[in-house]
Amino acid sequence: MKKTLAFLLLTSLLLRLWFALGYWAGKPLTYDANEYLELARNYNEQGKFVYDPRHTGQIEHYGRAPGYPFWLALLLRVAPTIGWVRLAEVLISLFTSYMFFLLSREIFSLRTALIALILSSFYLPFFFLIPSILSENVWLALMLVSYFFLLRGAKLAEGQRRIYFVGAFAFLAIATLVRPAAVFVLPLYILWIHRHSNWKNAAALFVFYFLILLPWNWKLFHESRRVIFVASEGGVTFWTGTHPAYGGDGDLASNPAVQYSYRHLLKEHAHQSSAQRERIYIYEAFRNIREHPGAYFWNEVKKLVFWFFPFGMSVQTTSLLHRVTSLVFYLPLLALAVSGYRRLPPDLRFFFGGVVMSFTIMILIFFPQERFRIATLDPVFLLIASNELIHRLGSRLSRILQ
């Protein structure tokens, strides 16, 4: 079995390397990726996360969370090449597969953990997160570590579990500095601590989480003289998802009509700062909801559909290979997860259901995009699907893995 697993992991590593450094090598970086790299380079040169000056009013810089640019800045100090960054992302992706193994072994069994390791090693949608130099790959690894600490802590005695719960909230805070979306599972974490400890510890960990974020949030308050939670990009994202012409999936690039309105807003408020425009986006978003309630409701329905099924514009505009692999790998995983959810013990149904619900609320407020789903829902579905496969094909899989 050890030789078989070693072979599988080596094959997975080579496939990841080929995908990141071979297949993806000549493809252009996205606007987001270039901005992350720009922030990282300027941090190394100036000690601050700042953008280069722009001489056009048609490009707006979003206030981004500092975690991923900081990670890139560290990598660029070692070697200032895209290839090196992608190699590091490959290693992060392999670490993520190992975390799937640890999580499954902790909450299910060794056999289920081996299945989870194999599935995560060859689940191609995870590969999409590697070469694009976007924050989801690192964020997913941090979230899995946080999940592991939280779930393991619940199985230990009161004196032992405390350090694991502290670790869970610490990694959740670090993940929030990479992608602020992590805050949406904070209520679930608080309820989990109450469920397995008491409200006093839940309140203390709630404060601990925000204390970790306090230095960066205080810096943002000092610079803008208003409260900003980690990053100021939420306003335009909120507005995009409420626009009457929004298609129910994807960002501005996938919704030309919304992008046209966005350019008009930029032109109309070109004299204002990005922070000032964020207030305008929020005001316009609520006006969209108030003046077009029917369109907003229909958008929310479409968001739900495209969140769970990869048929939206952000998927349709990708390559044929991307679309085929999305369907071939994701839909069976979703079916197994839905079937296997009922087999889970109550505690795990509470946790996994809570994670799915938390991030679904997130996209209903903002908007869904495939890479968000890959980093948030797919890991939960993979863990449940691994357990379901053991229940359905346990004896056959055991013979294969021996």
On whether residue 35 sits in a domain, the answer given is: yes
| Beta carbons of 119 and 159 less than 8 angstroms apart | no
Query: What is the DSSP code string of 148-207?
Result: HHHHHHTTS-HHHHHHHHHHHHHHHHHHHHH-GGGGGGHHHHHHHHHHHS-HHHHHHHHH
The distance of Cα 129 from the centroid of its chain, to the nearest Å, equals 10
In the numeric block, which tokens belong to residue 234? 């939420």
On whether residue 224 sits in a domain, the answer given is: yes
On whether residue 166 sits in a domain, the answer given is: yes
Q: What percent of the chain has pLDDT over 70?
A: 94
pLDDT, position 31:
84
**Per-residue pLDDT band at 208 (split at 50, 70, 90):** very high
Using alpha carbons, select from 181, 169, 173, 276 the residue that is nearest to residue 215. 173
On whether residue 392 sits in a domain, the answer given is: yes
Question: By three-state DSSP, how is residue 368 classified?
Answer: coil
On whether residue 124 sits in a domain, the answer given is: yes
Query: In angstroms, rounded to a whole number, what is the distance separating the alpha carbons of residues 82 and 248?
Result: 33
Containing 224, the helix (H) or strand (E) segment is helix 199-224
Containing 238, the helix (H) or strand (E) segment is helix 234-242
**Per-residue pLDDT band at 196 (split at 50, 70, 90):** very high
Question: By three-state DSSP, how is residue 143 classified?
Answer: helix
- When the pLDDT of each residue in the chain is averaged and rounded to a whole number, the result is 89
Domain holding 192, by residue range, is 2-14+30-232+318-401
| Beta carbons of 228 and 220 less than 8 angstroms apart | yes
pLDDT, position 203:
96
Query: In angstroms, rounded to a whole number, what is the distance separating the alpha carbons of residues 149 and 132?
Result: 29
* pLDDT mean over 21-48: 88
pLDDT, position 351:
97
**Per-residue pLDDT band at 60 (split at 50, 70, 90):** low
* pLDDT mean over 65-73: 95
Q: How far is CA 314 from CA 101, 262, 273, in A?
A: 30, 18, 29
pLDDT, position 9:
78
Q: What angle do CA 97, 99, 100 make, to 5 degrees?
A: 65
Query: In angstroms, rounded to a whole number, what is the distance separating the alpha carbons of residues 261 and 280?
Result: 13
Using alpha carbons, select from 40, 143, 23 the residue that is nearest to residue 92. 143
Q: What angle do CA 340, 346, 349 make, to 5 degrees?
A: 50
On whether residue 373 sits in a domain, the answer given is: yes
| Beta carbons of 163 and 118 less than 8 angstroms apart | no
Weakest-pLDDT range from 60-69, 136-145, 363-372, 384-393: 60-69
On whether residue 214 sits in a domain, the answer given is: yes
* pLDDT mean over 326-339: 94
Using alpha carbons, select from 31, 32, 43 the residue that is nearest to residue 77. 43
The model carries a pTM of 0.93
On whether residue 106 sits in a domain, the answer given is: yes
Three-state SS sequence of 276-320: HHHHHHHHHHHHHHHHCHHHHHHHHHHHHHHHHCCCCHHHHCCCH
Residue 249 falls in which region: left (phi positive, over 0), alpha (psi -120 to 50) or beta: beta
Weakest-pLDDT range from 127-141, 345-359, 372-386, 388-402: 388-402
pLDDT at 250 over 70: yes
* pLDDT mean over 156-173: 91
pLDDT, position 55:
55
pLDDT at 181 over 90: yes
Query: What is the DSSP code string of 370-395?
Result: HHHHHHHHHHHHHHHHHHHHHHHHHH
- Number of structural domains found in the chain: 1
